[in-house]
A = this chain, B = another copy of it.
Amino acid sequence: MTLRRHFPLLNRPGPRIAYLDSGATAQTPDIVLDAVRKFETHSRANVKRGVHRLAEAATEAYAKAREQVAAYLSVSADEIVFTSGCTGAINLAAHSFGTLLKPGDEIAVSELEHHSNIVPWHMLATRSGVKVNFLPIDGEGRVVVQTLSPRTKLVALAHVSNVTGAVLDVAAIVAEAKRVGARVLLDGAQRTPHGPVDIPALGVDFYAFSGHKTFAPHGVGVLWAKAELLDAMPPFLGGGEMIASVTTQGFTPAKAPAKFEAGTPPISGAIGLGAACAWLATLDWAAIAAHELRLTGRLLDGLRAVDGVTVIGPQGLQCRAPVVSFDLADAHPHDICQIMDRHGVALRGGHHCAQPLHAKFDLAGTTRASLALYCEDADIDLFFAGLAEAKRVLT
């Protein structure tokens, strides 16, 4: 693999950085940095309404970004809403779709969700008397598809778990949701960094993800929703650009996606995300997937051989993304991460914003290695060298 060379941070002079924290924030390639820099130095302006040449260029670049993101997801550009991030996207859905729900309606999430796909629904429950149900997870950290209550109006689940790496059985969930007439929202934060997503083939209704985990800038994310839903949903945030008209008496919202993009959008972030999606779309994903899976296999095999290690998540490679979390005897994840850092290995330790999942496994936290397309065997080598040292010092 030679993709690593596109990432300036990973190619700085000095000892190798084994960046195994891509699940938190992925590194960003030259092509994205250049797209953002070009905007800032050649066409920086506000979008929409402006007719001078910079405003026209900015508006076109922003529109193109929407097309590039849409193409990555095989959907139509006017179903793409740019948000502040995946969290912003899920909150938008919780508010706008949430206002269409009635007390007594139910929403299903799972025990493995990221807090960003739990707390907005807890808040909606408090606001509006909707009930939040939690689908259980099995011993391998996979969502168990259960019979849904007939009052379920929405099933909101992680496409890929940010802790266990388990890939959701989307077909089974969509079938069960259809049976009870519920909509399906996928939190794709951990899925979009691993290749284009064919949303129509998935058959879901909402899809949310973040720019910064998909090799693009921080501060931008996406909510995709079916046009009919975007039309039916009231706006969430109020402000400039999301209106057709405003008086002292009230306002009329604009059409989607503008209706959901109040105020000046994260223009440079969206342009960076568009560039990232366009670049990712050119890559050989069969090869990358095989590569990511092989490295994941090395992690799983190597961890199995270490006394006192338990992998929290699927033990095999089936339906699995390159995210591996583990517990090492009594050692605290922060201590493990700190020692690994001295070996140049970037890991994350803690509850990974998934306390219910950790409570289920009776752990305060785990240590997580999460890979991306730029990871190589040398990173895995460093990981195991660091782990041996951590084990020696801490246990």
- Chain A interface residues toward B at CB < 8 A: 8-9, 12, 17, 19, 21, 24-25, 27-28, 33, 37, 40-42, 44-46, 49-55, 84-88, 90-91, 94, 111, 114-116, 118-123, 132, 134, 210, 212, 217-220, 235, 237-243, 245-248, 250-251, 262-269, 334, 337-338, 340-341, 345-350, 353, 355-356, 359
Contacts and interface: CB of A to CB of B under 8 A. Distances in A.
Contacts of A17: 54
A38 to B, nearest CB: 10
A234 to B, nearest CB: 9
Given A52-B337, A52-B345, A8 B219 contact: no
A160 to B, nearest CB: 16
B84 A84 contact: yes
A356 B247 contact: yes
Contacts of A84: 84, 88, 219, 263, 266
A86 to B, nearest CB: 7
Contact of A53 (B24, B44, B51, B346): B346
B116 A269 contact: no
A388 to B, nearest CB: 18
Given A46-B25, A88-B84, A219-B267, A250 B12 contact: no
9 contacts: A33-B41, A50-B348, A52-B341, A55-B348, A115-B238, A119-B238, A218-B267, A219-B267, A246-B356
Contact of A52 (B88, B119, B340): B340
Nearest to A218: B267
B265 A219 contact: yes
B251 A119 contact: yes
Contacts of A219: 84, 217, 219-220, 265-269
A55 B238 CA distance: 34
Contacts of A212: 46, 264, 267
Nearest to A334: B51
A262 B350 contact: no
A245 to B, nearest CB: 6
Given A55-B346, A88-B84, A341-B52, A41 B9 contact: yes
A161 to B, nearest CB: 14
B54 A264 contact: no
A85 B264 contact: yes
A217 B348 contact: no
Contacts of A220: 219
A294 to B, nearest CB: 24
A87 B346 contact: no
Contacts of A86: 263-264
Given A8-B41, A28-B40, A87-B264, 19 more contacts: A9-B54, A21-B45, A21-B55, A25-B45, A45-B346, A50-B346, A51-B337, A84-B84, A84-B88, A84-B219, A91-B239, A116-B262, A119-B251, A120-B239, A122-B250, A132-B248, A134-B248, A218-B267, A266-B269
